[in-house]
Amino acid sequence: MPNRDKSMRYIKRHGKIGSGNSLPHLFSHRLFPLLALVTAGHSFADGDVTSQISQALTAGLNQQVHRWQTNHPGRWRPHQLEITMPVGVERLQACTQPLKISNNADRFPGGQQQRQIKCTSPSWVLFARAEVTMKAQVPITTKKLSKGAVIDAESIRWRTITIEARHQSIVMSKQELIGQQTKRGIRSDSPILKSLVTAPLWVKRGELIILQAGTEDFVATSEGVALESGSEGQRIRVRNSKSGKVVSGIVIEKGKVQTFY
| Per-residue pLDDT tens over the stretch 179-189 | 999 999 999 99
Q: Can you give the pTM of this predicted structure? A: 0.67
Render pLDDT for 153-170 as a digit per residue (tens, 0 to 9). Answer: 999 999 999 999 988 899
| pLDDT value at 47 more than 80 | no
Kindly state whether residues 27 and 110 are assigned to the same domain.
Answer: yes
Residue 1 included in any domain? no
**Does residue 56 carry a pLDDT above 70?**
yes
- Domain of residue 231: give its range: 201-260
State whether 192 and 207 are in the same domain.
no
User: Would you state the pLDDT for residue 158?
Assistant: 97
Residues in the chain: 261
Same domain, 120 and 156: no
Does residue 128 sit within a domain?
yes
Question: What is the average pLDDT score of the chain?
Answer: 83
Q: Which whole number is the average pLDDT over 11-26? A: 41
The total number of structural domains in the chain stands at 3
Going by C-alpha positions, the residue among 153, 149, 250 that lies closest to residue 200 is: 149
Percent of the chain with pLDDT over 90: 67
Asked if residue 58 belongs to a domain, the reply is yes
Question: Among residues 179, 198, 217, which one ends one of the domains?
Answer: 198
Q: How many CA atoms lie within 13 A of 147 on its CB side?
A: 2
Q: What average pLDDT does this structure show over 244-249?
A: 93
Pair 38, 146 in one domain: no
- Report, in angstroms and rounded to the nearest whole number, the Rg of the chain calculated over CA atoms: 28
User: What pLDDT does residue 217 have?
Assistant: 76
User: Looking at 10-14, 107-111, 185-189, which range is the least confident one?
Assistant: 10-14
